[in-house]
Amino acid sequence: MIPRTMFDRRRVLAGLLALMAAGAGPAHAQDNAYPSRPVKLVVGAPPGGAPDTVARLVAQRMQLGQPVVVENRNGAASLIATEYVAKAPADGYTLLLTSQTGLAVSPIINRSKAFDGRRDFTGVGYIGSAPLVLVAGPALQANTVAEVIALAKARPGALDYGNGGVGTSPYMAGALFSVMTGTKITSIPFPGEQAAMVEIMAGRLPMMFANAASAMPHIKAGKLRGLAVTSAERVDVAQGLPTVAESGVPGFEIGTWLGVVAPAGTPGPVVTKVHEELRRVVQLPEVREALDRLGFVHEDKDLAAFNAFLRADHDKWARLIREAGIKAE
């Protein structure tokens, strides 16, 4: 005869297993059912710009079982969109296409209290980075990075560079160049990159760090001189130009990267599902060709690598902003 205590133990064990299954079941089922409605991909830029173009390029090709809908929330140097997603439910239905501007540069410069770029997001997928090219016109009496550094050191503050204003990639490239070379160059803001390049070609502005895809046609036409590219290695989009790093500024690297993040706390299986699909889409030949035309250099990153990249990138810009004393205008 089996003792009553053994029956009791079996009942208790069966009850515990049932409770565990009941507790895990709904969450597991929810992850498997994702997505059960359209997913929003928020962009902190207006329709027609590079971030919006890239967002639509990937969103239209993602096959999650539900549409991925691009939503533009432009304004405040991406702060509006970034805050919106930071405060959204961590369920995978609100994602953010972002860059260093939205996650690090803008919130640090503007001392945003609404969110923390490191704490409030988790990486979903990396898309690519668009390097810049140091371009010069007739007003700059230099043909190499070394000569630019020599000019800047000879006349501190006298060498101007064009950009789109505090926090933009061309501005941050100039600030990084100044800090890493121990020089002082003066920022001249313009309403857009093309406006600055027109001034350079006209001989009224010496130089700027410009998007490679925008600058290379002018360089090929002989209207601008390309001195160096800001990527870590030479890239096809810059058509043989040396890097700033190999030209005398070791470790110099900057580009406008784009990637997708989700609110912190989004379930791991949901993040993995979107990551794998985004990774597939970015490898499609037509997507790669479109990204190439926009000047983006792709580098495959898994989730761990992308999240490590996000942490290092945030620290890099926080350090530069502090060392250069960059403040909001």
Encode pLDDT of 208-221 as tens digits: 999 999 999 999 99
Residue 77, pLDDT score: 81
Look at residue 196 and tell me if it is in a domain. yes
Q: The CATH number of the domain where 97 resides is what? A: 3.40.190.150
Tell me: do 166 and 99 sit in the same domain.
Answer: no
Strands in 85-224 per DSSP E: 94-98, 121-136, 160-163, 186-189, 207-211
Residue 295 tokens read as 């000047």
Distances in whole angstroms, Cα of residue 75 to Cα of each of 83, 228, 239, 261, 310: 11, 32, 34, 19, 22
Tell me: do 143 and 207 sit in the same domain.
Answer: yes
Tell me: do 123 and 185 sit in the same domain.
Answer: no
Look at residue 191 and tell me if it is in a domain. yes
- The owner of tokens 């691009």 is 70
pTM here is 0.86
Q: Which domain holds residue 201?
A: 131-238
Residue 236 tokens read as 């096809």
Look at residue 20 and tell me if it is in a domain. no
| Count of domains for the chain | 2
Q: Of 171, 205, 238, which one is at a domain's C-terminal end?
A: 238
Tell me: do 140 and 205 sit in the same domain.
Answer: yes
Alpha helices in 143-293 (DSSP H): 145-154, 169-181, 193-201, 212-220, 268-282, 285-293
Q: The CATH number of the domain where 212 resides is what? A: 3.40.190.10
Judge whether residue 16 has pLDDT over 90.
Answer: no
pLDDT digits (tens, 9 = 90+) for 238-277: 999 999 999 999 999 999 999 999 999 999 999 999 999 9
Q: Return mean pLDDT, the chain.
A: 91
Q: Of 238, 272, 294, which one is at a domain's C-terminal end?
A: 238
Residue 31, pLDDT score: 58
- How far does CA 238 lie from the centroid of its chain? 19
Residue 130, pLDDT score: 96
